[in-house]
A = this chain, B = another copy of it.
């Protein structure tokens, strides 16, 4: 099923968190079947797909790492429980981050968001449940058009929502009180990898002194960046920029480029809401240290885990 999703290119449209959950569930199924060989094979195939399809999805990498680490140390002993615990912990982390972010919204405010982030959606849900009135400008988020899903979600919640083209962000910014964004990954210096357009949205908010909050559980942090690694930003198929009809009118060797993510510098983000509280992006190392008991966190790399799985 998961592979079906990948095949149809839907993966890119799912939120980073949903994508990570799909991975967890898939491995859980195999563990429940007790299929050791199938587990190793699936694990490796998921690593490959992830590398190819969504290399910046830190939540997926971090969860995969924890599952792989457990397997390497204890094989199937307690693995099912470990995976269930991780799933629950991650789910709760999303809600906690959303809850903390929700406290920044004051009744009557106008928000702006981009793409389709599960954490941001949960924040919207919490606000509605708490009876806080607000309205939202949603960027459509070309080329994936994930903004349409966020807008529909908000519409179902009964929130006044305006869907706008990405390039109209500056036009409407003067009406906006706060911007909320999700993250695909957060680097150790506080830089945030988000859906393409996130950095230009944050620049525009910054120009107009509008506050920007990222909502992201700790699973989005990229340990590799501590060691200087660049986060790989995959480029999408440029054919996604147009429909088949238009495509046909273009010459065969037509050039177009469709980056899927971009990097927002930390000075354009006011704070990151995590399950451990709210911080300046530059304070990321403190949290990592607290949670992992050391800095740099003593965590094996995926390469080491794969090595041991053989």
A interface residues, Cβ below 8 angstroms from B: 99-104, 106, 139-143, 145, 148, 151-152, 155, 160-174, 177, 188-190, 196-197, 199-201, 203-204, 207-209, 225-230, 238, 241-243, 246, 249-251, 254-259, 262, 265-267, 270-271, 273, 276-287, 289-290, 294-296
Contacts and interface: CB of A to CB of B under 8 A. Distances in A.
Question: What are the 6 tightest A-B residue pairs by CB atom distance, in nearest-first order?
Answer: A167-B197, A100-B228, A103-B228, A226-B277, A163-B256, A280-B282
A203 B170 contact: yes
B164 A273 contact: no
A196 B174 contact: no
Given A142-B142, A152-B249, A164-B257, A100 B227 contact: yes
A152 B256 CA distance: 11
Nearest to A296: B277
A254 B140 CA distance: 14
B290 A287 contact: no
Given A148-B242, A200-B200, A280-B189, A106 B230 contact: yes
A256 to B, nearest CB: 4
A167 B296 contact: no
Contacts of A246: 145, 148
21 contacts: A103-B229, A103-B230, A140-B142, A142-B165, A142-B167, A145-B242, A152-B249, A163-B241, A163-B256, A170-B203, A170-B262, A171-B259, A174-B209, A189-B270, A189-B283, A203-B203, A203-B207, A208-B209, A277-B296, A282-B282, A286-B286
Given A230-B103, A283-B286, A278 B168 contact: no
A214 to B, nearest CB: 12
A200 B170 contact: yes
A21 to B, nearest CB: 24
Contacts of A282: 280-283
A137 to B, nearest CB: 8
Nearest to A143: B165
A266 B287 contact: no
Contact of A255 (B160, B201, B238): B160
Contacts of A106: 230
A207 B209 contact: yes
A201 B203 CA distance: 11
A103 to B, nearest CB: 4
Nearest to A173: B209
